[in-house]
Structure 1
Amino acid sequence: MRKHHAQQLYDYHVWANDKFFARLKELPEDIYIQEIQSVFPSIAETLVHMYMVDTIWLGVMKGNSMAEIQASIASVQEITKDNQLQKMEKLFQDLSAEYQTFLHHESDLDKEISPEHPQFGRLDTQLSELVQHVVNHGTYHRGNLSAMIRQQGYASVANDYVFYLYEGKAEK
């Protein structure tokens, strides 16, 4: 059975994040926390941001209240304080497993949802569009990570969607 496109896109998101973690483990440890002039002050802070946003959007997709989402933000801030690479990789893996469970058990990934944001108001959208947003957000920041790695004198890692397809990761 063919996966829903949103599930396939999320699988790509996980694959691309895994590529970065594998590459970062190959590089000298200090580049992970080295402060540089970029969108975020370090690779570590970029990963914390990505993890935070992925956590928030999973809560939104699950229909969590704003209070629950704010509690998840506080929790993420606490558990990512030391932001060590291996710990961040494990956090990403655990969150990915939560997403996969949610996406697998959701019967209608195109269903209409209307999350409320305290600043931006109500958004009438589809669940699959929010998955697309999570993937786009990750892609944007993986571009930042590539630039940050190169800025420190190292090659990054190919992680475009087409490479995911070429590796045969997508289920037909």
Structure 2
Amino acid sequence: MKHHALQLYDYHVWANQRIVERLKELPEEICHKEIQSVFSSISEVLTHIYLVDTLWLSVMSGDSFDETMVKLERTKEETKGKTTGEMQTMFLDLSKQYKEFLDRREDLDQPVTYEHPRFGKLEASLSELVQHVVNHGTYHRGNITAMLRQLGHAGVSTDFVFYLYEMRHDTPR
């Protein structure tokens, strides 16, 4: 049986894909329009999700804090000015990296120690960190939905239960 963390990560990929597909239905300028919200634009939220996903893959891969920060800065540069379609490609490439990484792990529940210069040591399993990545994405996909409504556009449901329906019952979106 598939580990629950792998299922949650699959949900995360599915939900990000649903959001991006919805955004691609709208004029590109909607994503870059400045609004008064938690982030100044939808594209900034999308980029933030991507950057944090990148950060956590680096951490889970055993990179040091400094190595992770270097990767994060490089990734920030790579995401500047990207269209929604280009971000979609970047998300899909990153999800392949995650899946390859997670598939190589024998025990996703084995505790590993992570170290942060400000927060100190954390003992957590890969499955717990995957849960964090998924929760973080869910939170910010909610920001995107609220921002779309604020701009006069409907969002798209990315609730976990709809992922389950689609995966188990072939329910159309």
Which range, TM-score by smaller chain? over 0.9
Supply the RMSD in Å over aligned alpha carbons: 1.1
1-structure distance, mates of 2:167, 2:16? 17
2:29 maps to 30
Residues 85, 169 of structure 1: alpha-carbon distance in 2 compared, 3 angstrom cutoff: farther
Letter paired with 1:13: H
Residue identity over aligned pairs, in percent, reads 57
Q: Which runs of 4+ in 1 moved over 2 A?
A: none
1-structure distance, mates of 2:151, 2:65? 39
1:139 maps to 138
> Any idea what the Cα deviations from partners look like across 1:108-136, whole Å, max 9, x if unmatched?
10010111011111111111000000000
2-structure distance, mates of 1:169, 1:32? 32
* Corresponding position: 1:106 with 2:105: yes
Residues 98, 154 of structure 1: alpha-carbon distance in 2 compared, 3 angstrom cutoff: same
What is the CA-CA distance between 1:169 and the residue it aligns to? 5.5
Residues 91, 14 of structure 1: alpha-carbon distance in 2 compared, 3 angstrom cutoff: same
1:74 maps to 73
Number of positions where the alignment pairs a residue of Structure 1 with one of Structure 2: 169
Residues 157, 112 of structure 1: alpha-carbon distance in 2 compared, 3 angstrom cutoff: same
Choose between structure 1 and 2 for higher RCO, CA contacts under 8 A separated by at least 6 residues.
1
2-structure distance, mates of 1:90, 1:72? 18
TM-score, with length taken from structure 2: 0.95
2-structure distance, mates of 1:5, 1:166? 16
1:88 maps to 87
Letter paired with 2:118: Q
TM-score, with length taken from structure 1: 0.95
> Any idea what the Cα deviations from partners look like across 1:60-111, whole Å, max 9, x if unmatched?
1111111210111111111011132111111111100000101111111001
- Contact 2:20–2:88 at 8 Å: present in 1 too? yes
* Corresponding position: 1:16 with 2:7: no
- Contact 1:48–1:83 at 8 Å: present in 2 too? no
What is the CA-CA distance between 1:45 and the residue it aligns to? 0.5
1:130 maps to 129
1:156 maps to 155
Deviates more, 1:130-139 or 1:78-87: 78-87
Letter paired with 2:91: F
> Any idea what the Cα deviations from partners look like across 1:112-170, whole Å, max 9, x if unmatched?
01110111111111110000000000000000000011111011001100000011269
